Amino acid sequence: MDLNLTGKTALVFGASQGIGKAIAESLIKEGVKVAICSRTESTLNETKDKIGAEFALSGDLTKPNEARRVTEEVIKHFGKLDILVTNTGGPAKNNFPDVTTEQWQTDFQSIWLSVTESLQAALPKMAENNYGRVLMVTSIAALEPLPGLTTSNGLRAGLSGLARSISNEYAANGITLNLLLPGYTATDRLKGLNLSEEKIKEMVPAGRLGDPSELADMATFLASEKGAYITAQSIAVDGGVLKGH
Give the number of other CB atoms < 10 A from CB of residue 59. 23
Report pLDDT digits (tens) over 126-154: 999 999 999 999 998 888 888 888 999 99
Distance CA 169, CA 182 (A): 26
Distance CA 52, CA 205 (A): 35
- Contact in structure between 151 and 110 (CB atoms under 8 Å): no
For residue 11, the SS3 value is strand
Whether pTM exceeds 0.85: yes
Q: Tell me yes or no: is domain 9-236 CATH 1.10.443.10.
A: no
Domain map (residue ranges) of the chain: 9-236
Cα diameter, the chain: 52
Report pLDDT digits (tens) over 23-75: 999 999 999 999 999 998 889 999 999 999 999 999 999 999 999 999 999 99
